[in-house]
């Protein structure tokens, strides 16, 4: 009896993320990301919580624009299967983890709660959406950098004037502090002076818990 061909070998996602753009496009395909003006239509009908993270969430708070390489939308990890069913046959999600880069489908239905999903229509189409999963503890947002830190989702997100839900700026900066790429440092430089003292205290505590010697602490 014929069997399905084995899946292609899975590259290390860390290596994927650090490939030069031309090399990335050659091996994995390019990006044509959604934006805040198109994401609502894409997510229409998904009845679980979702919110915009990353650079777009910082921009929604500051009003200061910059180029964006992708669109990051997070969902609770416990809703990953519901999201896969929502995408149906219209889109093909891939799971990006520390040890694999593989289809998120009936063959591989399990995903780690702190991994992410990349979405495209098919192998000939560009990626349109990056979905970093957010671990949850009994439905509460859980900090993937510090699993003991949990909060109600409404306390770490906000609804902007455009009607979309975004990660609060201090939450986005906490995750950016873990990588501190050039764009992350730029976002921090623009955003930090605009944060309230309460937000700065939250960020200071979160970054200190992650790395007590982090360079950003001196700015907080």
Q: Where are the domains of the chain?
A: 14-169
Which CATH architecture is the domain 14-169 placed in? 2-Layer Sandwich (3.30)
Q: What is the residue whose two structure tokens read 């939450």?
A: 171
**CA neighbours closer than 13 Å in the CB half-sphere of residue 42:** 23
Intervals of the chain under pLDDT 50: 1-12, 14-15
What is the rounded CA–CA span in Å between residue 77 and residue 84? 12
CA–CA distances in Å: residue 6 to residues 2, 92, 99: 12, 17, 17
pTM: 0.89
Radius of gyration (Cα) for the chain, nearest Å? 18
What is the per-residue pLDDT for 17? 56
Strand ranges inside 77-219, DSSP E: 92-96, 101-103, 116-120, 127-134, 136-137, 140-142, 150-151, 157-159, 165-167
What is the per-residue pLDDT for 26? 85
Chain-centre distance for alpha carbon 14: 15
Q: 4: which 2 tokens?
A: 């399905």
What is the per-residue pLDDT for 6? 40
What is the rounded CA–CA span in Å between residue 192 and residue 32? 29
């Amino acid at each position: 009896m014929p069997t399905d061909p084995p899946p292609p070998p899975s590259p290390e996602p860390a290596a994927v993320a650090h490939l030069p753009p031309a090399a990335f496009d050659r091996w994995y395909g390019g990006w044509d990301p959604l934006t805040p003006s198109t994401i609502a239509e894409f997510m229409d009908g998904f009845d679980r919580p979702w919110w915009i993270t990353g650079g777009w969430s910082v921009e929604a708070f500051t009003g200061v624009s910059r180029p964006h390489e992708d669109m990051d939308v997070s969902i609770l990890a416990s809703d990953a299967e519901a999201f896969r069913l929502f995408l149906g046959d219209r889109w093909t999600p891939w799971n990006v983890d520390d040890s694999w880069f593989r289809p998120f489908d009936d063959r591989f239905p399990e995903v780690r709660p702190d991994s992410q999903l990349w979405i495209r229509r098919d192998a000939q189409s560009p990626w349109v959406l990056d979905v970093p999963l957010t671990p949850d503890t009994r439905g509460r947002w859980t900090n993937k950098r510090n699993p003991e830190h949990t909060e109600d989702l409404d306390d770490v997100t906000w609804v902007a004037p455009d009607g979309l839900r975004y990660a609060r700026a201090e939450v986005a900066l906490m995750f950016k502090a873990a990588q501190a790429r050039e764009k992350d440092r730029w976002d921090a430089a623009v955003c930090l002076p605009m944060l309230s003292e309460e937000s700065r205290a939250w960020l200071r505590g979160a970054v200190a818990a992650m790395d007590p010697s982090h360079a950003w602490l001196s700015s907080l």
